[in-house]
Amino acid sequence: MKVLVATDKPFAKVAVDGIREVIEGAGFELALLEKYGEKANLLAAVADADAIIIRSDVIDAEVFDAAKQLKIVVRAGAGYDNVDLAAATAHGVCVMNTPGQNSNAVAELALGLMVYAVRNLYNGTSGSELKGKKLGIHAYGNVGRNVARIAKGFGMDIYAYDAYCPAEVMTADGVTPVASAKELYEQCQIVSLHIPATPETKESINYALLKDMPKGAVLVNTARKEVINEAELIQLMEERADFKYMTDIMPAADSKFTELFAGRYFSTPKKMGAQTAEANINAGIAAAHQIVGFIKDGCEKFRVNK
């Protein structure tokens, strides 16, 4: 039984060691394909794999066609928009994620980006504090809840909107639920995005939603670049010199943002919210255990395709 770890953005070594221990401990073989760059390298490596552990790596119909022995793909992380679920199902392959395992890392980076924004990108000028500011958490899942927990320590006034999360879950955390995204953006000077990339959310963060954010607005995106309507965000930031955009998912129009919005736009060069040893260990080892459980016992917990 061959398990392939295919990560263009590699896990920390300590996480790979942990994955190996679980996989080899189960009597399986581990193969490692890191920083593979070209898709052709991935296609070659999956040929004899029974299971694959991935991160944001794109697993589409072509990959499933090339992976004749494949039984399971585990996305070590939360968002599985990089996997073609219909193609997986058509090929009889189970797809899972590892929800919650990397969410503290992403939440810590979101707060770090907020501090960076309100301190004027550490340029030495007088900035402001997070304490007492209204924070809007857009989607109250695993990352959103961790953001709320940490933001409480900063003394922020926390609001959240999530169409799928009961209001009681938010109020139990000391978070004020609001009835719509519109209301969240109208009320909160700082908004942190935690929605998944789906056909419904694609480019849903647009001019109409952002235009009513209070003065000194900061939008933090550690979710997905696809949820932003980039052309409309650019239009808004051209009209509003007080608006800042901080992200760890480089926009398609990065060079335009950089050129137009110096001092109020920042993107990490690579998606790095979940890029900590701890998150890699948690998500990677969870993925390894899920593969062993699926192959040995048929356990389908965390399956995301039908």
Q: Rule CB under 6 A: which residues touch ligand 3PG?
A: 9, 55-56, 77-79, 102, 271, 273-275
CA 129 → CA 208, 240, 282, distances in Å? 27, 21, 32
- Minimum CB separation of residue 139 from ligand 3PG in Å reads 13
- Minimum CB separation of residue 84 from ligand 3PG in Å reads 16
If the CB atoms of residues 120 and 305 are measured against ligand 3PG, the closer one turns out to be 305
- Minimum CB separation of residue 285 from ligand 3PG in Å reads 14
Using alpha carbons, select from 204, 193, 191, 207 the residue that is nearest to residue 239: 207
**DSSP line for the chain:** -EEEEEESSPPPHHHHHHHHHHHHHTT-EEEEEES--SHHHHHHHGGG-SEEEESS--B-HHHHHH-TT--EEEESSS--TTB-HHHHHHTT-EEEE-TTTTHHHHHHHHHHHHHHHHTGGGSSS----STT-EEEEES-SHHHHHHHHHHHHTT-EEEEE-TTS-HHHHHHTT-EE-S-HHHHHHH-SEEEE-----TTTTT-B-HHHHTTSPTT-EEEE-S-GGGB-HHHHHHHHHH-TT-EEEESS--TTHHHHHHH-TTSEEE-SS--TT-SHHHHHHHHHHHHHHHHHHHHH---TTB---
If the CB atoms of residues 171 and 198 are measured against ligand 3PG, the closer one turns out to be 198
- Minimum CB separation of residue 113 from ligand 3PG in Å reads 14
CA 62 to chain centroid, in Å, comes to 24
- Minimum CB separation of residue 194 from ligand 3PG in Å reads 10
- Minimum CB separation of residue 17 from ligand 3PG in Å reads 18
If the CB atoms of residues 74 and 158 are measured against ligand 3PG, the closer one turns out to be 74
If the CB atoms of residues 78 and 148 are measured against ligand 3PG, the closer one turns out to be 78
- Minimum CB separation of residue 79 from ligand 3PG in Å reads 3
If the CB atoms of residues 144 and 177 are measured against ligand 3PG, the closer one turns out to be 144
| Buried residues in 259-280 as b, exposed as e (16+ CB within 10 A) | eebeebbbbbeebebbbbebbb
Q: Using CA atoms, how far apart are residues 249 and 261, in angstroms rounded to an integer?
A: 17
If the CB atoms of residues 144 and 273 are measured against ligand 3PG, the closer one turns out to be 273
If the CB atoms of residues 79 and 251 are measured against ligand 3PG, the closer one turns out to be 79
If the CB atoms of residues 79 and 177 are measured against ligand 3PG, the closer one turns out to be 79
- Minimum CB separation of residue 103 from ligand 3PG in Å reads 8
If the CB atoms of residues 52 and 178 are measured against ligand 3PG, the closer one turns out to be 52
Select the residue whose beta carbon is closest to ligand 3PG and give its number.
77
- Minimum CB separation of residue 174 from ligand 3PG in Å reads 26
